[in-house]
A and B are shown apart, each in its own frame.
Chain A
Amino acid sequence: MAGTALSRPNPLSRGNLRALLYLSPWLAGFAIFFVYPLVSTVYFSFQRYDLFTLEPVGLLNWEYFLKDQAAWTAIRNTLWLVVVMVPLRVLFGLGVAQLVTRLKAGAGVYRTIFYLPALVPLVAGTLGFVFLLNPGTGPVQAILSAVGLPAPDWFGDPAWSKWGLTLLGLWSVGDLMVIFMAALLDVPKQLYEAAAIDGANGWRQFTSITLPVIRPVLMFALVTGVIQTLQYFTQAEVAARVASGATDSAGSVFTPGYPDQSTLTFPQWLFQQGFRDYAMGYACVLALMLFAVAMVFTLILLRQFRGLGEEDV
């Protein structure tokens, strides 16, 4: 019975029409919220548009992109997070998962505790973290200097602010932990037993048995981590706002990326340009850049799915 629908050449077959019916909400959504915006983003990237007046400006927006230092700073910051935070989260998540799967007593309790921070609303978690690391009021600086370690002004020093965000990311590593735990439990126990008899130690077991089995999951976690990081917005925005002590009073203007644009991520700059400065055309240039980069990683991810969707056809 397999393949009967596909073998029929008629595109308007009952099967295809029925599928179309079921898919129609998503198809409409895809057209309205994906295809159309993408096309008009290209169009707007050649316009000056502040939501009131539209004026074609040729390549002006694209030229400005080349000269816009903040945009390049934002790219560098986003890259930093991709290169440092994403792998650290994956490693930490894997480590915690390894630990929890090996605990015989209390594994459930630990799993709950370790997963909990992943559920905390981003804004709430960020607020808590900034205050926790705030010099003068937070305990972390006091503890660090009490034991004689350097006590940086985490979110107030550009050399440390991204590390502060990384700490926040590690704290909410629970989702990765759960995925890795599931993958680790999938590794057949007999393999370990066989390896133990052969005298393979922990590290050898990990590289020769665990790693090959969980490789796809690891790859998946890395790529989705990268894509999530390309959208990194809330934590950086809230942390900068709170850490700068901006009071929204007359004359004190909040600049995203505090301190020294060190937490300015690409989506933040796009948002700033489009919805704070109303340089909509320029925001579209930035959007297309983001699209290009996100697509590269999406394609890598899609390779993982090659073969999926066909298995029962």
Chain B
Amino acid sequence: MTRRSVVRRGTVLLWVARHALAIALALMFLGPLVFIALTALMSDRQALTSDLWPHTWNWGNFAEIFEKAPLLTWIRNTLLYSVLATAFMLVSSIPVAYALARFRFRGRRLAFLLVITTMMLPPQVVAVPIYLIWARFHLTGTLWPLILPMLLGDAFSIFLLRQFLVTIPREYSDAAKVDGCGEFRTLVRVILPMARPAIAAVALFQFFYCWNDYYGPLLYAGTDLDSWTLSLGLAAFRSVHRVQWNLTMAATLLAMAPVIIVFFFAQKVFIEGVKLTGVK
């Protein structure tokens, strides 16, 4: 046997081993999702047994959850929270990120460090006084305490946008200025179109953060069932609506669906965005 075929054989084995591992991992990552889907289709009684495969396929479960719980209200609230918070965040955070990336001013370094600090701070640290502020305005029991602050910038989004904006070569904005564009017009006309991938990424991140958020709505909207979001409803689904695991899993699947669908369409944006979060 020549040396060459030994090497070849080694690479083939390696190839097989890698793919076997990858397939095993894929099964582990997908397993829970499949199990949730199967349970969602079981009958009430079967969901209380350890049988894996539905005896009867109860597609009606998906209709039943809409009757049992105000899912449409939860979806509406979740959308309201996610859309408004994302829009507000973009309006307020882009100029800040731009200034941090491009302007030269005193305290610029300090400002950036403070952005990172607030980004890293657990939200529970300042929860009590902020709750009191909203209680004073009688806005507890609604989602507004989670939406309105987005008008004042979001540290994580500022950080991410700034990381991207510093990579845009200065020549572009300089050229725009030569053409007589002011700073703001340069931002809108030249920088924003170039930063589209980053903006799309932070918008998606913000949207999904809100969509998945549990702590925030629990703190502020937990008291008022009319303001509940999908996350809140889901966590209390089984006990408040007196249903079994199958319906709970059907609702779980429903909450996951939009996220997964959007991900398939916007996969690239996501992946690029996640890469931005790592430091280079």
Contact = CB atoms under 8 A, between A and B. Distances in A.
Chains A and B directly touch (beta carbon < 8 Å): yes
Contact of A128 (B36, B113, B170, B267): B36
Contact of A25 (B25, B151, B170, B208): B151
A132 interface: yes
Interface string A76-109: 0000000000000000000010011011011000
Contact of A28 (B52, B109, B152): B152
B76 interface: no
B1 interface: no
Contacts of A100: 22
Q: Which of B32, B33, B231 has the most CB of A within 10 A?
A: B32
B122 A280 contact: no
Interface residues of B, number: 98
A300 B277 CA distance: 17
A175 interface: yes
A227 B49 CA distance: 39
A35 to B, nearest CB: 10
B35 to A, nearest CB: 6
B240 A41 contact: no
A18 B124 contact: no
B126 A34 contact: yes
Interface string A284-313: 100110110011011001101100111111
Given A16-B106, A137-B245, A294-B121, A123 B256 contact: no
Contacts of A37: 125-126, 128-130
B259 A131 contact: no
A293 to B, nearest CB: 9
Interface in B100-139: 100, 103-106, 108-109, 111-118, 120-133, 135
B255 A216 contact: no
Contacts of B126: 33-34, 37-38, 41, 287
Interface stretch (A152-160, A203-211, A269-277): A269-277
A171 B149 contact: no
A51 interface: yes
A103 B19 contact: yes
A15 B98 CA distance: 14
B68 interface: no
A238 B235 contact: yes
B32 A310 contact: no
Interface in A178-208: 178-179, 182-183, 186
Contacts of B121: 34, 291, 294, 298
A interface, over-half SS? helix
Contacts of A308: 112, 279
B129 A271 contact: no
Contacts of A182: 275, 278
B70 interface: no
A32 B152 contact: yes
A30 interface: yes
A298 B234 contact: no
A5 interface: yes
Contacts of A75: none
Nearest to B31: A132
B214 interface: yes
A121 B25 contact: no
Contact of B152 (A25, A116, A309): A25
17 contacts: A4-B104, A26-B93, A34-B126, A37-B130, A38-B126, A41-B126, A113-B29, A113-B30, A116-B263, A119-B208, A127-B248, A128-B33, A132-B36, A136-B50, A291-B121, A301-B120, A308-B112
